[in-house]
Amino acid sequence: MPIKDKYQPLGAHLRRLAGEHSDVTLTFAEIERIIGTRLPQGAQCVPFWQGVNGKPPSRARAWLAAGFVAQPDLAHGRIRFHRQAPAPRGGQPGRR
């Protein structure tokens, strides 16, 4: 049985806001409250949120599926989630 993705609650939170907000900024503390656990130390680095070499990290499924991309503002301990155009029907965000 697959382990529940701990970032699913974040994706659900963003989906609830997507109809009214194109940008959602959350502090690390707010994200931790939403997911119910502390973020790992790696969350202090841009690749944690955006991936490497154009490939999003697996945790990004949560916000990509909700139609958002993450734009970290690490100096202020927050992440701006910016809503993108919805993914094509039947497609997965980030896949070709």
Convert the pLDDT of each residue in 21-78 to its tens digit.
Answer: 999 999 999 999 999 999 999 999 999 999 888 888 889 999 999 999 999 999 999 9
Convert the pLDDT of each residue in 63-94 to its tens digit.
Answer: 999 999 999 999 999 999 999 865 434 444 44
In a domain, 36, yes or no: yes
In a domain, 92, yes or no: no
What is the extent of the structural domain holding 14?
A: 8-83
In a domain, 58, yes or no: yes
Residue with tokens 């907000």: 21
Q: Looking at the 3D structure of the chain, how many domains does it have? A: 1
In a domain, 94, yes or no: no
Dihedral angle of Cα 58, 13, 8, 80, to the nearest 10 degrees: 20
* CA 93/CA 59 separation, integer angstroms: 12
In a domain, 57, yes or no: yes
In a domain, 22, yes or no: yes
